[in-house]
Amino acid sequence: MDAVTFTLVFLIIVALFFDFINGMHDAANSIATIVSTRVLKPQYAVMWAAFFNFAAYFVFESHVASTVGKGIVSPELIDNAVVFGALAGAISWNLITWYFGIPSSSSHALIGGIIGAGVTKAGFGAIVWGGLSKTLYAIVLSPVTGFVLGILFMVLVSWLFLRANPALADSFFRKAQFVSAALYSLGHGSNDAQKTAGIISVLLFSNGVYSEFTVPGWVILSCYTVMGLGTLMGGWRIVHTMGSKITRLTPMQGACAETAGAITLFAATNLGVPVSTTHTITGSIIGVGSARRASAVRWNVATGIVYAWIITIPATAVIASVAYWLASHII
């Protein structure tokens, strides 16, 4: 194996490792509510989520992969060192936040990494401002949409079940959470796995494997598979924060939060927008908690999470910039 091929294979493995870490780090997004409501034990919940993370391969097209691969930084400027820098920044930040149990965004860690490495190489002219602005809008819109839908679903469901027997209603929503968690896991897999697929695809293009940017089927399948395996590893620290520290959830609230988040993710994936699954489910959880009463939400915890979101892109951009500089002298 020559040096060029070895480097390409190595970077694909690093990208898939990020995909695995993404699945492990963001597993909490899919299972936090169904675990905190005690509908499923954590070990069964992660298996449920992992299956539907992978199943998303058969449901959605690769619009998000195209946006990540050629819509953040110009693909003609991306080389092996840029890819390594972006992945190093994202992986480092994911591991740091996972260790401390902070539900930050893997998606925006990757976006920050791409920006940091790309700008370090070619300046701000490397950025595709149209695609980046669409992604930055999504930072705000995805949690807001989840929040609003969470409130709407809670109001609607509370009205529909106003005269229902509490025990029967609880039993119904415990079963409903299997469906809502599956839907959210489909959304998580569809949006997040495609981000890694976009990175690998632009890497193949920059190395001349393909004459134009394309997202090969084997890349998509590999990313969905590895993300599913990462989800199986779970992440109890973040599950605890998402599922109980923000607000205590009932099965009804859990089902509403997951459904609100799933609808948001389905819409974003079909539009090709790489949104944060973490932002989305957090907004939904805060929404259903606020629908009960504002004091039900532990706003100090929610505020801490928002601070982590704000620094994610700048922090990963800095790490990626340093990693790019080191890689450009080695790769």
Average pLDDT taken over every residue of the chain = 85
pLDDT score at 301: 58
Q: What is the pLDDT of residues 139-170, one digit of tens each?
A: 788 888 999 999 999 999 989 988 888 888 88
Rounded to whole angstroms, the Cα distance separating 226 from 24 reads 10
Tokens 């090969």, located at residue: 216
Q: Which residue has the higher pLDDT, 202 or 286?
A: 202
How confident is the model at residue 242, as a pLDDT? 47
In order, the DSSP letters of 112-127 are: HHHHHHHHHHH-GGGB
Which residue is listed with tokens 């973490």?
278
CA separation for the pair 217, 321 (Å, rounded)? 31
What is the distance, to the nearest Å, from the Cα of residue 64 to the centroid of all Cα atoms in its chain?
Answer: 12
pLDDT at 82: 95
The overall longest dimension of the chain from CA atoms, in Å, is: 71
* pTM of the complete model: 0.85
Taking alpha carbons only, the member of 98, 311, 274 closest to residue 198 is 274
Say what the pLDDT of residue 31 is: 73
Residue 126 backbone dihedrals phi, psi, to 5 degrees: -75, -20
Give the CA-trace dihedral at 24, 28, 30, 35, to 10 degrees. Answer: 130
pLDDT in tens, 57-115: 998 888 899 999 999 999 999 999 999 999 999 989 888 877 777 767 788 889 999 99
Least confident of 151-155, 188-192, 298-302: 298-302
Amino acid 74: pLDDT: 92
Tokens of 318: 């800095």
Band (pLDDT 50/70/90 cuts) for residue 287 is confident
User: How many helices, marked H, and strands, marked E, lie in the chain?
Assistant: 12, 0
**Sequence spans of domains, the chain:** 3-328
SS (H, E, C) 62-94: CHHHHHHHHCCECHHHCCHHHHHHHHHHHHHHH
**For residues 66 and 129, what is the distance between their CA atoms, to the nearest angstrom?**
15
- Residue 243 confidence (pLDDT): 47
Residue 305's pLDDT band, with cuts at 50, 70 and 90, is: low
